[in-house]
Chain A
């Protein structure tokens, strides 16, 4: 069974055509580095998000690889050009079959 978690997306619901819009996303994840040990001295296995992809009406517009040094509950902000009305899809994938997905609609006038 794949793991999933909560996500929060902040972006405008409407925009003018060719306007630059800011997108801010945050996802709930411990981002366990794999370098820590428990109080009993046992190494805690790595468990991180590895990849983030954003598509805009099916076209990939942003991608990021994530590594162990990235903080828990990682926030990513980026911008794009509002070309047409539609749906932005956000996908996170990671260790231990982690997968989260969410979508946001935008109306371009």
Chain B
């Protein structure tokens, strides 16, 4: 092999690496919560429970935790005791496989309602569902996201990654094209976030209310003019799992405030 050819090969190798790093999904310490992109005022709103409107949902959740419900007339507290102890770190580990089915925290709470309280499950995005999820999530505030990485969950993780990288909708965009490859660049004047779901359920100022990660994902899908995945569909929970896995190790901020 001539020296010139060798140099060319090295050059192309280096170029490929450069391109790859340009479009790589930020990993490790390069990851950033969207908290860092917010104005100091909005950050202060999230950090101070007396200013964070989601506090109302957390307090409502605390009441729900202690309120008996269903045919068994059981409250969450009767089985789980003090949420500050029993729910510590729980939300940081969801979505999770429960008896072979992948559930997010809202799904897990509803399963508990059906099985152990014999009560009606909370409707998606209802005040009750969001309140209890915010209360349970708040117990993990500051704790690192720790997703189960056992082989059993691998199939869901791969499925979630596939959805993340799949182009969809009339705009024919994948999640990854904006949130992995172009995060930190601008879209209509706003910095594109890295899409780490570190603070759900969030109080979104645009929504003027608390919403779940599923609502946010469906919102993004309407944005690219795709038909949103149904609540509780396998696809949306797989995607949630992949996003939480991408954010593994980052501290949970629930309930976060986002613009």
Q: Mark B47-78, 1 if CB is under 8 A from A, else 0.
A: 01011010110011000000000000000000
Q: Mark A32-59, 1 if CB is under 8 A from B, else 0.
A: 0000000000000000000000000000
In the assembled complex, which residues on chain B have CB atoms less than 8 Å from the CB atom of A13? none
Partner of B55, one of A8, A9, A30, A31: A8
Q: Taking chain B's interface residues, is the majority helix, strand, or loop, or is none over half, making it mixed?
A: loop
Interface size class of B (residues with CB under 8 A): 10 to 19
Q: Which of A6, A72, A73 has the most CB of B within 10 A?
A: A73
- Knowing A10-B50, A10-B51, A75-B51, the reply to whether A28 touches B208 (Cβ < 8 A) is no
B209 lies within 8 A of chain A by Cβ: yes
Partner of A26, one of B53, B60, B208, B209: B53
Q: How far is the CA of A28 from the CA of B63 in the complex (A)?
A: 15
CB pair B209–A28 under 8 Å, yes or no, is no
A64 lies within 8 A of chain B by Cβ: no
Q: Which of A8, A10, A75 has the most CB of B within 10 A?
A: A8
Q: Mark A1-36, 1 if CB is under 8 A from B, else 0.
A: 000011011100000000000001010101100000
CB pair A28–B51 under 8 Å, yes or no, is no
CB pair A73–B208 under 8 Å, yes or no, is yes
CB pair B59–A26 under 8 Å, yes or no, is no
Q: Mark A66-79, 1 if CB is under 8 A from B, else 0.
A: 00000111010000
- Knowing A6-B56, A6-B59, A73-B56, the reply to whether A24 touches B208 (Cβ < 8 A) is no
Number of A-B contacts (CB under 8 A): 32
Q: How far is the CA of A48 from the CA of B248 in the complex (A)?
A: 41
Q: In the assembled complex, how far is the CB of residue A88 from the closest CB belonging to chain B, in whole angstroms?
A: 15
Interface size class of A (residues with CB under 8 A): 10 to 19
Q: How far is the CA of A24 from the CA of B48 in the complex (A)?
A: 12
CB pair B209–A72 under 8 Å, yes or no, is yes
In the assembled complex, which residues on chain B have CB atoms less than 8 Å from the CB atom of A72? 53, 208-209
Q: How far is the CA of A31 from the CA of B60 in the complex (A)?
A: 18
Q: In the assembled complex, how far is the CB of residue B163 from the closest CB belonging to chain A, in whole angstroms?
A: 26
CB pair B208–A8 under 8 Å, yes or no, is no
Q: How far is the CA of A6 from the CA of B5 in the complex (A)?
A: 73
Partner of B53, one of A10, A24, A73: A73
Q: How far is the CA of A30 from the CA of B127 in the complex (A)?
A: 11
Q: In the assembled complex, how far is the CB of residue B41 from the closest CB belonging to chain A, in whole angstroms?
A: 11
CB pair A28–B50 under 8 Å, yes or no, is no
In the assembled complex, which residues on chain A have CB atoms less than 8 Å from the CB atom of B50? 8-10, 24, 26
In the assembled complex, which residues on chain B have CB atoms less than 8 Å from the CB atom of A71? 205, 208
B59 and chain A: residue at smallest CB distance: A6
Q: How far is the CA of A30 from the CA of B209 in the complex (A)?
A: 8
Q: How far is the CA of A9 from the CA of B56 in the complex (A)?
A: 12
In the assembled complex, which residues on chain A have CB atoms less than 8 Å from the CB atom of B205? 71
Q: How far is the CA of A5 from the CA of B63 in the complex (A)?
A: 13
B205 and chain A: residue at smallest CB distance: A71
Q: In the assembled complex, how far is the CB of residue A74 from the closest CB belonging to chain B, in whole angstroms?
A: 9
Q: How far is the CA of A44 from the CA of B56 in the complex (A)?
A: 23
Q: How far is the CA of A26 from the CA of B257 in the complex (A)?
A: 15
Q: In the assembled complex, how far is the CB of residue A49 from the closest CB belonging to chain B, in whole angstroms?
A: 14
14 A-B pairs with C-beta separation under 8 A: A6-B56, A6-B60, A8-B56, A9-B50, A10-B51, A24-B51, A26-B50, A26-B53, A28-B53, A71-B205, A71-B208, A72-B208, A75-B51, A75-B53
Given A10-B50, A72-B208, A75-B51, 4 additional A-B pairs, CB 8 A: A6-B56, A8-B50, A8-B55, A73-B53
